[in-house]
Structure 1
Amino acid sequence: MPEAEHGIPLKELCPHATEVVRELQQAGYQAYIVGGGVRDLLLGKAPKDFDVATDATPEEVHDIFPRCRLIGRRFRLAHVRKRGNLIEVATFRGPHDGEEGNGSANGRILRDNVFGTVEEDAIRRDFTINAMFLDPVSGEIRDYVGGYQDLCERRLRLIGDPETRYREDPVRLLRAARFAAKLGVEPDAESEEPIRRLAVLLEDVPPARLFEEVCKLFLTGHAMRSMESLQRFGLSSTLFPVLPESDKPGGVIIGPLLKAALENTDQRIAEEKPVTPAFLLAALFWLPVKAGTERRMAAGESEHEAILNAAEEVFYAQSRRTSVPKRFTAVAKQIWAIQPRFAKTSGKRWTRIFREPKFRAAYDFLLLRAVEDPALEELGAFWTQAQESRPMEAPAPAPSGPRKRRRRRPRSRNRKRA
């Protein structure tokens, strides 16, 4: 398709990706912008990034861009930097050879560095809407699998046999749910049918990779729709095994607190305000932490100790499915641990809570709890008024004046010299 037909203005393309493509083409190789960047431009959205595909091998890409980095074992890639911008360059993939050691017992591809042509690479991609190749120099789009028509009809369709493709990479199950939420596309019957049945395959995906997918689901502006999509396709309980299951197969219980947190996250992203996984995790796992806290308090633990122990228990159980970096779990624990202190509204030391580094996040979480438990509304109003009438206390200034020299102890005369 020429530029006049697909309508993507070349000036909207990333100039650094265009430069990488042009240099590869000048060296005698084929090169295109591929994947989600082309798809988003056709939908009128701003792409998050621009990836490049070429028939040059990673080593040949390195010869053209000597300062690039070759990464990956399962998929060998080149990371090319242009004026501080990272462009990912992948070699066209060919048909998987099925050699022993390249796959697992359930069909998942563990290693895949078989190179091929642009047509073979298109067939190897997951969904048709992600398999279009844009030449930013000529302006042409190459579409070998009907992705343009599917995108026009808002249809999500896997390339090849759906069950085989899901087994090759179970993360495609989550990608189907995310695209349905983000793009408003609907899976065709053949692509949707195996999702709920194959959800168990997510248990074989490395936990670190699943955490990346969780961030894409909930921290890119469509968190509420993503949760609804996970519920619809029966993926929630497999992805979050610590959450209480609902009466629907594969679903979990979503309380008012979590729903409000997801909606607030979407609103903050729409307003271009910062968001952090830590606060979302605090809302996501509050129900099991709350249940664990009540159980431990009934056994005799203090509320503070019970919250921290319950939090540790929940994160340990969840880490076997999605690993969560400690920098996020630590903040979530702080938010939870401050909650009991909000009940102390009198005495000499109640204002010390203002000095807590995570006070504001904990206060916002208290307001979310009030959405779920109206009995906390009065307490939330108290702390809102307390902040308005009392400025935040600044940390005590460092002592001024010269520092006193520390007296050195006299050396013992009986000590033997070395």
Structure 2
Amino acid sequence: MIRKLLKKLPTPFGRQVHRRTTPSVIPASQHSLRRERLSKNAVNVVERLQQAGYQAFVVGGCVRDSLLNMSPKDYDVATSATPEQVRATFRNARLIGRRFKLVHVHFGREIIEVATFRANHADDEAGEPQSDDKSRQSESGRLLRDNVYGNFEQDAQRRDFTINALYYDVSTGYIHDYANGMHDIRNGLIRLIGDPEQRYQEDPVRMLRAVRFAAKLDFEIEPHSAAPIPDMTDLLFDIPPARLFDESLKLLMSGQGEKTFDLLHYYYLFEPLFPDTEEAIEANPDYSLALIRQALRNTDDRIREGRPVTPAFLFAALLWPALAPRIQALEAQGIPTIPAQQQAAQDLLTEQCQHIAIPKRFSVPLREIWDMQPRLERRSGRRADQLLEHPRFRAAYDFLLLRETAGEQTDGLGHWWTLYQEASPDQRRKMISALDDKAASPKRPRNRKKRKPRTSADS
């Protein structure tokens, strides 16, 4: 019901467009951000650009997170200097990107990303159309190239969300706010700058970013920014699969995966990313949702504890509900279980990579986790010890436990493997022997012909 109301909510776009001609300038005495808390390298980049005669500010997520007492993962700088001028200022700088030309300034392992002020993609400051090498759009309105440079105000208006349009001047301590971003931070709102429908058409990934920020910051998506999303999710089918892989990692492997998944599902954004899994959820919601949520919950816990996580395991879990129906369909055609699983897995991954391009460094271990599931059932002789030595055993074992937690019946297989790992060599031999005895079929009695007793004549 809530989703239906959301889709029907009128969106008065004209009232939601932020068009200030001057920013709200917040002095240091009225906010909590201090330059000492920022990366020294980011402060250095801003100061050197300012000393060279350019405008320069720390901007975006690092300002937002610092105001919320969170530790920024990276730092962005916005400047009036062109990419070529930035590179000329720093010997440790490198130009990157075509769709959105940037400069990376390297300080050991830390990279400060520097972007030139951008203007609206349609016109330059003189109001004349830009050439295709600077700006280009698809027929649906998606920006294919965005290298139209502008001034400070234009840069603020073309950013995605109000909370990301805050510019911090390290020299004065002032925060420049063109779009009421400070207001939305105080009120916990994710709000698009400008016409939400147009901004989503320019870059459909903004719908995913809205969900990611809402989950990460525990904010609400402002109603008029949320309203167009359910009817525009199909735009994500046009986004390059490689870009959606990167976005999926940010969505699901940042420590708020379970909350993010619920928001994706709520706004109909999960289907464009994992269409086969969405179909499996509709067919068997209890099992599918239990397995996916538990996998995401486990991942969130590991991230909070500082333990390693891998996309291979998470993607194996996200796609597993879609694998079983394919295996059953192939088995119904007379194909044995293991070949059926291998074929189903290959077909499913091929189709999934048309939506999210999973690199081989993750798809190969993902397949191994899947392939080991039926092998974990085969424990007789030396097979159990051989499986224990397999480099992917631990992941496969954890995946088995995940399946059982979601409600799959495995006849106590997970418990058996738990005991086997903890057992001594003698105990392991007894466990295998018990399995062999159980598997051994009882001997059938020999059919003997009844013989008549011998008579004296026979002897």
Is this a same-fold pair by TM over 0.5? yes
CA distance in 1, matches of 2:339, 2:387: 18
CA distance in 2, matches of 1:340, 1:119: 60
Distance 1:214 1:132, change over 3 A: same
- Residue 100 of structure 1: how far off its partner (Å): 6.8
Amino acid at match of 1:261: A
Kindly indicate whether residue 59 of structure 2 is the aligned counterpart of residue 61 of structure 1: no
Query: Is contact 1:96–1:112 with CA below 8 Å preserved after alignment?
Result: yes
More deviation, 360-369/310-319: 310-319
Please state whether the residue corresponding to 2:58 is helix, strand or coil.
strand
Identify which of 27, 37, 60 aligns with 1:2.
Answer: 27
Please state whether the residue corresponding to 1:74 is helix, strand or coil.
coil
In structure 2, what is the equivalent of residue 182 of structure 1? 216
Identify which of 335, 341, 362 aligns with 1:307.
Answer: 341
Kindly indicate whether residue 63 of structure 2 is the aligned counterpart of residue 38 of structure 1: yes
Query: Is contact 2:162–2:190 with CA below 8 Å preserved after alignment?
Result: yes
CA distance in 2, matches of 1:374, 1:243: 17
In structure 1, what is the equivalent of residue 95 of structure 2? 70
In structure 2, what is the equivalent of residue 90 of structure 1? 115
Please state whether the residue corresponding to 1:53 is helix, strand or coil.
strand
More deviation, 313-322/297-306: 297-306
Identify which of 171, 180, 184 aligns with 1:150.
Answer: 184
- Residue 335 of structure 1: how far off its partner (Å): 0.4
Query: Is contact 1:243–1:253 with CA below 8 Å preserved after alignment?
Result: no
Kindly indicate whether residue 168 of structure 2 is the aligned counterpart of residue 134 of structure 1: yes
Say how many residue pairs are matched.
389
In structure 2, what is the equivalent of residue 400 of structure 1? none
CA distance in 2, matches of 1:55, 1:188: 31
Amino acid at match of 1:258: I
Query: Is contact 2:35–2:43 with CA below 8 Å preserved after alignment?
Result: no
Give the percent of matched residue pairs that are identical in Structure 1 and Structure 2.
47
- Residue 345 of structure 1: how far off its partner (Å): 3.0
- Residue 149 of structure 1: how far off its partner (Å): 0.4
Amino acid at match of 1:37: C
Taking only aligned residues, the RMSD between alpha carbons, in angstroms, comes to 1.8
CA distance in 2, matches of 1:206, 1:168: 14
Identify which of 19, 26, 29 aligns with 2:54.
Answer: 29
- Residue 349 of structure 1: how far off its partner (Å): 3.0
Please state whether the residue corresponding to 1:336 is helix, strand or coil.
helix
Amino acid at match of 2:200: Y
In structure 2, what is the equivalent of residue 106 of structure 1? 140
- Residue 177 of structure 1: how far off its partner (Å): 1.1
CA distance in 2, matches of 1:83, 1:2: 33
Q: Map of 1:232-381 to 2, 5 A cutoff?
A: 232-245=266-279, 254-373=288-407, 375-376=409-410, 378-381=412-415
In structure 2, what is the equivalent of residue 12 of structure 1? 37
Please state whether the residue corresponding to 2:139 is helix, strand or coil.
coil
Q: Map of 1:207-218 to 2, 5 A cutoff?
A: 207-218=241-252
Query: Is contact 1:108–1:167 with CA below 8 Å preserved after alignment?
Result: yes
- Residue 300 of structure 1: how far off its partner (Å): 2.4
**TM-score if structure 2 supplies the norm length?**
0.82
CA distance in 2, matches of 1:106, 1:188: 24
Identify which of 264, 270, 287 aligns with 1:230.
Answer: 264
Say which structure, 1 or 2, has more relative contact order (CA 8 Å, 6+ apart): 2
Query: Is contact 1:55–1:91 with CA below 8 Å preserved after alignment?
Result: yes
More deviation, 190-199/343-352: 343-352
- Residue 374 of structure 1: how far off its partner (Å): 5.1
Query: Is contact 1:32–1:135 with CA below 8 Å preserved after alignment?
Result: yes
CA distance in 2, matches of 1:19, 1:91: 17
Q: Map of 1:376-387 to 2, 5 A cutoff?
A: 376=410, 378-387=412-421
Q: Deviations over 1:318-361 (max 9, x none)?
A: 11111110110101100010111111233343321111110000
CA distance in 1, matches of 2:273, 2:286: 10
Structure 2 residue runs without a partner (length 5+) = 1-25, 123-128, 426-459
Query: Is contact 2:280–2:322 with CA below 8 Å preserved after alignment?
Result: no
Amino acid at match of 2:404: A
Please state whether the residue corresponding to 1:282 is helix, strand or coil.
helix
Structure 1 residue runs without a partner (length 5+) = 392-418
Distance 1:377 1:242, change over 3 A: same
**TM-score if structure 1 supplies the norm length?**
0.89
CA distance in 1, matches of 2:288, 2:260: 13
Distance 1:252 1:92, change over 3 A: farther
CA distance in 2, matches of 1:81, 1:349: 50
